[in-house]
């Protein structure tokens, strides 16, 4: 879709490279090509950092060395928070995934020493910490999106989608403690589980569903580059490693 | 962990003879912290390869793969206690840290060990209530992880690679991995609300534990006989040429509509 025409269009400073979750085939092809290269040179898995590098290169953006709030990759005034999760079959319909969204520590941020004492208070503190990270990112960048890559264990099958990144209204959620001692954030209106927070480790997880219009793609398994041959190609010799 | 004037001296030792030597089941590939040059060369060579294919940073997992290849061991997908790489009855816990000058740094390396949750493991909901009890619990969790590793392996070592930011200069050393006696340490809360564990006898800062995140770190020191090495910066492999070499074509990426 083209950019809509508005009377005050001139005020818009941001030019999106593409509308949200409407990722052009050309970008997917670039991403896939890079994944083929990575498998060929011996990558065994893809980290969030790798995903940030590949995506930034594919859209011509920058992968920040240290994120601003939750902004990992930036392009002009736009930013993406990069997430990747593993699943046996990323193409298997409309499933739910858990996005590990950083450490939110009510102890450090609010001085809540015992997170179990008042779990509603702890849960609200966790969401406030998340919201503050979104604030920081949006101080510098807007729009702010989350880019999610679901990858198969063999790194050949992928599902990719984007979401608008936003704050959560803390009062819309109630918190319960599960048998493992983790806190679960439940949407008061729908009863759906939206968040998990682990008192040990302070890890905050957002639950989301893969949308029907998520992009699905596959890559061919490339042959693995021969380490010895590759090093020969660059004229590696033993004296490149100098023991002092 | 920590300084040991005896093991800090490099000695070229043959396997020693004892009357009950026959009872020893394990065979060390090399004595602790006496890396043969061949292993260091193999490590360096693999780092050159990683750099030439465009790897921007080395992760702990890469270090595990590299070391396992160099010693002919196995890099476990999920560690047994703290054992990441194994070879027969030997195990290594793999650590790598960055420092701007690995060859001359005087700073004490801080080894990030993992999450020791006193809440989850020992049911201490408020870690600030009794700092000493929390600190003891943190060390107990560490000791348990060491116990698990020693259940399966005779020798457990921590192998530390300090790399500079460019990943061209390295310092490598090993330590015997051991348990800590909780009563030998006292704990204090610092201004950042992190807990610091001090050795009572020497007053040395040995541990840090963060209530936010449960991250446990051990401070160690770089021994004088640590191995120092450098690698030459390789040229970056051309992605287009490499893909051409393997006959890559656009239809290798299939978008499913």
Which of A22, A32, A37 to mutate to probe the B interface, most B CBs <10 Å? A37
Average pLDDT over residues B72-101: 91
Q: What percent of chain A has pLDDT over 70?
A: 94
CA distance A114 to A112: 6
Q: What percent of chain B has pLDDT over 90?
A: 64
Q: Is residue B250 part of a domain?
A: no
Q: A76, A134, A149: which is closest to A104 by C-alpha?
A: A134
**Chain B residues lying within 8 Å of A200, measured CB to CB:** 115, 117, 119-121, 214
Helices (H) and strands (E) in chain B, counts: 5, 12
> Residue B50: closest CA among chain A residues belongs to which residue?
A41
Whether B242 contacts chain A with CB within 8 A:
yes
**Chain B residues lying within 8 Å of A31, measured CB to CB:** 253
ipTM score of complex = 0.83
Q: What torsion, rounded to 10 degrees, do the Cα atoms A32, A35, A40, A43 define?
A: -160
The phi, psi pair for B243, rounded to 5°, reads: -70, -35
Model pLDDT, residue B60: 77
- Look-up: residue for tokens 């590696």? A236
First and final C-alpha spacing in chain A = 61
**Chain A residues lying within 8 Å of B234, measured CB to CB:** 234, 236, 240
Of A73-82, B24-33, B175-184, minimum mean pLDDT range: B24-33
Shortest Cα distance from B36 to chain A (angstroms)?
11
Q: Is residue B6 part of a domain?
A: no
Give the residue numbers spanning the domain of B183: 32-239
Name the average pLDDT for chain B.
88
**Chain B residues lying within 8 Å of A91, measured CB to CB:** 256
For CA atoms B84, B161, A36, B248, the dihedral sign is negative
Contact B86, B76 (CB under 8 A): yes
Whether B212 contacts chain A with CB within 8 A:
yes
> Residue B35: closest CA among chain A residues belongs to which residue?
A243
CA distance B70 to B87: 11
pLDDT at residue A23 above 60? yes
Q: Is residue B80 part of a domain?
A: yes
Tokens representing A223? 């042959």
- Per the CB < 8 Å rule, is B214 touching A201? yes
Q: A120, A115, A214: which is closest to A160 by C-alpha?
A: A214
Q: Is residue A219 part of a domain?
A: yes
pLDDT at residue B239 above 50? yes
Of A71-80, B2-11, B50-59, minimum mean pLDDT range: B2-11
More confident residue, B245 or B122: B245
Split at pLDDT 50, 70, 90, the class of A16 is confident
Maximum pairwise Cα distance, chain B:
73
Shortest Cα distance from A26 to chain B (angstroms)?
10
Domain count, chain A: 1
- Three-state DSSP class for residue B90: strand
- Three-state DSSP class for residue B163: strand
Split at pLDDT 50, 70, 90, the class of A193 is very high
**Chain B residues lying within 8 Å of A49, measured CB to CB:** 56-57
Q: B172, B120, B170, B110: which is closest to B141 by C-alpha?
A: B120
Q: Is residue B22 part of a domain?
A: no
CA distance B234 to B44: 12
Average pLDDT over residues A161-189: 93
Split at pLDDT 50, 70, 90, the class of A217 is very high
Model pLDDT, residue B15: 58
Q: Is residue B73 part of a domain?
A: yes
Give tens-digit pLDDT for B172-194.
999 999 999 999 999 999 988 89
Q: A with B: how many residue pairs have Cβ under 8 Å apart?
A: 156
Alpha-carbon Rg of chain B, whole angstroms?
A: 21
Q: Which residues contact A148 (CB under 8 A, 6 or more apart)?
A: A83, A84, A85, A97, A99, A160, A161, A162, A163, A208, A210
Shortest Cα distance from B211 to chain A (angstroms)?
7
Model pTM greater than 0.90? no
- Look-up: residue for tokens 């991403």? A31
Shortest Cα distance from B2 to chain A (angstroms)?
23
Average pLDDT over residues A1-30: 75
Give the residue numbers spanning the domain of A212: 21-229
Domain count, chain B: 1
Q: Is residue A10 part of a domain?
A: no
pLDDT at residue B46 above 90? yes
Average pLDDT over residues A16-42: 91
């Amino acid at each position: 879709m083209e950019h809509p025409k508005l009377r005050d269009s001139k005020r818009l400073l941001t030019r999106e490279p593409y509308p949200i979750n409407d990722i052009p085939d050309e970008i997917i092809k670039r991403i896939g090509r890079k994944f083929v290269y990575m498998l060929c040179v011996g990558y065994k898995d893809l980290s969030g950092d790798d995903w940030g590098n590949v995506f930034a290169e594919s859209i011509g953006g920058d992968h920040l060395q240290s994120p601003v709030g939750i902004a990992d990759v930036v392009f002009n005034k736009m930013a993406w928070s990069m997430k990747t999760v593993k699943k046996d079959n990323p193409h298997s319909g409309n499933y739910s995934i858990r996005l590990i969204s950083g450490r939110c520590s009510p102890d450090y941020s609010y001085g809540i020493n015992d997170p179990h004492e008042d779990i509603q208070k702890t849960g609200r503190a966790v969401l406030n910490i998340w919201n503050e990270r979104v604030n920081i990112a949006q101080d510098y960048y807007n729009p702010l999106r989350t880019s999610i890559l679901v990858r198969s264990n063999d790194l050949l099958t992928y599902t990719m989608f984007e979401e608008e990144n936003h704050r959560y209204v803390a009062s819309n959620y109630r918190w319960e403690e599960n048998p493992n001692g983790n806190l679960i954030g439940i949407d008061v209106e729908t009863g759906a589980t939206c968040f998990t927070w682990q008192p040990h480790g302070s890890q905050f997880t957002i639950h989301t569903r893969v949308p029907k219009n998520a992009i699905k793609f596959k890559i061919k398994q490339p042959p693995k580059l021969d380490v010895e041959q590759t090093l020969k190609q660059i004229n590696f010799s033993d004296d490149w490693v100098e023991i002092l | 962990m920590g300084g040991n004037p005896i093991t800090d001296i490099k000695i070229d030792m043959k396997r020693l003879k004892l009357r009950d030597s026959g009872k020893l089941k394990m065979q060390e590939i090399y004595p602790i912290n006496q890396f043969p040059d061949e292993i260091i060369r193999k490590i360096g060579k693999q780092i050159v390869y990683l750099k030439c294919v465009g790897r921007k940073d080395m992760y702990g997992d890469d270090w595990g793969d590299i070391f396992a290849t160099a010693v002919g061991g196995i890099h476990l997908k999920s560690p047994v206690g703290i054992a990441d790489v194994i070879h027969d009855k030997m195990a290594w816990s793999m650590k790598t840290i960055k420092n701007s000058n690995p060859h001359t740094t005087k700073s004490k390396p801080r080894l990030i060990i993992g999450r020791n949750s006193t809440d989850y493991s020992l049911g201490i909901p408020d870690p600030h209530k009794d700092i000493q009890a929390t600190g003891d619990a943190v060390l107990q969790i560490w000791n348990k992880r060491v116990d698990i590793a020693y259940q399966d392996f005779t020798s457990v070592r921590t192998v530390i690679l300090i790399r500079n930011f460019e990943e061209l200069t390295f310092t490598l050393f090993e330590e015997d991995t051991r348990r800590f006696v909780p009563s030998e340490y006292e704990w204090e809360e610092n201004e950042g609300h992190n807990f610091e564990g001090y050795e009572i006898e020497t007053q040395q800062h040995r541990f840090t534990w963060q209530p936010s995140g449960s991250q446990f770190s051990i401070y160690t020191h770089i021994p004088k006989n640590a191995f120092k090495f450098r690698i030459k910066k390789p040229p970056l492999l051309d992605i287009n040429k490499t893909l051409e070499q393997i006959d890559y074509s656009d239809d290798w990426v299939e978008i499913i509509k």
